[in-house]
Chains A and B, each alone.
Chain A
Amino acid sequence: MSILIYAEHDNKELKSETAKLVHAASQIGEDIDVLVAGHDCVAVAQAAANISGVSRVLVADASCYEYQLAENISGLVVELADGYSHILAAATTTGKNFMPRVAALKDVAQISDIIAVESADTFVRPIYAGNAIATVQSSDQLKVMTVRASAFDSATLGNAAPIEALTQAHDAGLSSFVSAELTVSERPELTAASVIISGGRGMQNGDNFALLNGIADKLGAAIGASRAAVDAGFVPNDMQVGQTGKIVAPQLYIAVGISGAIQHLAGMKDSKVIVAINKDEEAPIFQVADYGLVGDLFDILPQLEDAL
């Protein structure tokens, strides 16, 4: 078994998903390479080399990889694919974007969003928005898979894997980057945070989300939202936790004014501890919450901030 992991990064830093993928890969086999494709991404490669269990870090540093366009990245990964039994990428919007291209060009299936490794050819993945869990077996020579990073622990740090530069530059010429509007935040990212506080329709408007800031500051938490809050225009979509948003599994998840629709629960039910604050004591969120507090969030939030 020889495994290639596509590193999740933004050219500046390696994202936490990658160490989790190394841990997932270690359940398949021991020969694990990490591919860093980007531009001016030296720091990312060094961080990847520090993950225990990594045999080699391959760095493809070229301007055509700067925005990790699927057409270019898939060309690179396909060229590297021979010699590997498994190719893994995080089930982020980057991995979901280019990996099916890799699978199709290699004429193999892709197994999406795995949450457990049963053996080198058998994997577990949620279907029907997490309402059913499928165990699937692949007979393809090459397994192309995306991994739900939040379902795996991180590999430890403390390694000095060799870093090798690749010279191939695959510019497919089919697409070009125009612009990006990225949310700038001092807070941790939702998928990496150990504490998350999320607001729902009960927040009533976008301004009231400021009530979550003080608590988030004290807990070092990321701030999320339910789809209802996003659809109502309170906050942008990249804050959405749920089946159609981000799938998270923090140590502590605090749901404020969130009723607990199935599609929200699918995004956060694997959190270690769930707290629900809602004025409706019949709200379904209480059926999954470890600690429920019934009451008006506009009274409770200031009290909670003071108590922390």
Chain B
Amino acid sequence: MKILVPVKRAIDYNVKVKVKADESNVDLANVKMSINPFCEIAVEEAIRIKESGIATEIVVVSIGTLACVEQIRTALALGADRGVHIQTDAELDSLQIAKLLKTVVDKESPDLVILGKQAIDSDNNQTGQMLAALTNMGQGTFASKVAVADGQVAVTREIDGGLQTVSLTLPAIVTTDLRLNEPRYASLPNIMKAKRKPIETIDADTLGVNLTSNVSLLKVSAPAQRSGGVKVADVAELVAKLKTEAKVIS
């Protein structure tokens, strides 16, 4: 079977983001970019399914500027087989991304699509579910365990009260949560090998998808800072303050 893994180029998770002085957006100039961590978990899961003998091919797709090729190469170095780069300079929302991904799904006919549950920049948590709706597939979101067998995938999901397992008929969509796996590091020989793996480039404008978003960003501001309070000497003083000053316990 074939697995499609969309990956997003996003700010590296170690970078502390700063808001621009004019509040137009965050400042991403000269900031380190990486594969979004949840997408990296998706790549790892696809590789593990392939290593278990169930999958035969992993196609990784990224949408955005020419720079996204860097993240596709990273995924190829980890173990994906080939890449698709949908090139555009437009700022896209999840809906446009999902529509572009649908064109790839239509062409590649994967049995399983694995995505990160959200990107750590926009924090939307939408693309996988939207792609599932547009392709009329079942979805297993926030996965902490994925088991493929007999034309079905059982997905154990991290939900608010604990865990829920659902069974989906393939083809299906899975989105990853943090505890699904721990991604590997790419070895030097695999990084070299990845340079020879094929990447197909497609101009987003040729795919017949309306790329304009109906949501506009008016302002980006820094969050309100909470200032530190006082240090108390002991438990007695703490309890007294909570009762009489903060009045949060009685």
Contact = CB atoms under 8 A, between A and B. Distances in A.
Interface string B178-194: 11000000000000000
Contacts of B228: 286-289, 292
A80 interface: no
A169 interface: no
A159 interface: no
B162 A181 contact: yes
Contacts of B17: 128, 131-132
Interface string A70-85: 1100100000000000
B232 A109 contact: no
Contact of B232 (A103, A132, A291): A291
B95 interface: yes
B162 A180 contact: yes
A228 interface: no
Interface string B14-28: 001101000000100
B29 interface: no
B211 to A, nearest CB: 13
Given A101-B133, A244-B178, A178 B126 contact: no
A254 B223 CA distance: 22
Contacts of B107: none
B202 interface: no
Interface in B134-188: 134, 136-142, 144, 154, 157-169, 172, 178-179
Contact of B129 (A70, A127, A244): A70
A63 to B, nearest CB: 15
Interface stretch (A22-30, A32-40, A91-99, A203-211): A91-99
A100 B125 contact: yes
A110 interface: yes
Given A128-B26, A287-B228, A303-B235, A236 B123 contact: no
Interface in A254-308: 262, 269, 272-275, 281, 286-294, 300, 303-304, 307-308
Interface in B203-250: 213-223, 226-232, 234-236, 238-239, 241-242, 246, 248-249
Given A178-B167, A238-B162, A273 B221 contact: no
A151 interface: no
Given A177-B164, A195-B248, A252-B242, A108 B214 contact: yes
B34 interface: no
Nearest to B11: A128
A105 interface: yes
Contacts of A273: 242, 246, 248
Contact of A100 (B94, B214, B239): B94
A109 to B, nearest CB: 5
Contact of B166 (A138, A175, A246, A288): A175
B231 A294 contact: yes
A180 B157 CA distance: 9
B126 A308 contact: no
Nearest to A285: B228
Contacts of B139: 70-71, 97, 101, 175
Nearest to B210: A107
Interface residues of B, number: 77
B39 to A, nearest CB: 15
Contact of A176 (B94, B167, B231): B167
A71 B129 CA distance: 9
Contacts of A97: 129, 139, 141-142
Contacts of B167: 175-178
B78 interface: no
Contacts of B51: none
Contact of B126 (A112, A136, A252, A294): A112
Interface of A: 10, 67, 69-71, 74, 92-94, 96-105, 107-113, 122, 126-140, 172, 174-183, 189, 191, 195, 219, 236-238, 244, 246, 251-252, 262, 269, 272-275, 281, 286-294, 300, 303-304, 307-308
Interface of B: 11, 16-17, 19, 26, 93-95, 98, 120-134, 136-142, 144, 154, 157-169, 172, 178-179, 213-223, 226-232, 234-236, 238-239, 241-242, 246, 248-249
Nearest 10 Cβ contacts at the A-B interface: A174-B138, A100-B129, A290-B229, A104-B130, A104-B133, A100-B126, A101-B133, A175-B138, A178-B165, A252-B248
8 contacts: A128-B17, A129-B120, A131-B222, A133-B220, A135-B220, A136-B216, A180-B162, A272-B246
Given A103-B130, A183-B161, A273-B246, 12 more contacts: A93-B159, A110-B130, A113-B123, A128-B26, A134-B219, A136-B217, A136-B218, A138-B214, A139-B214, A273-B248, A274-B229, A286-B231
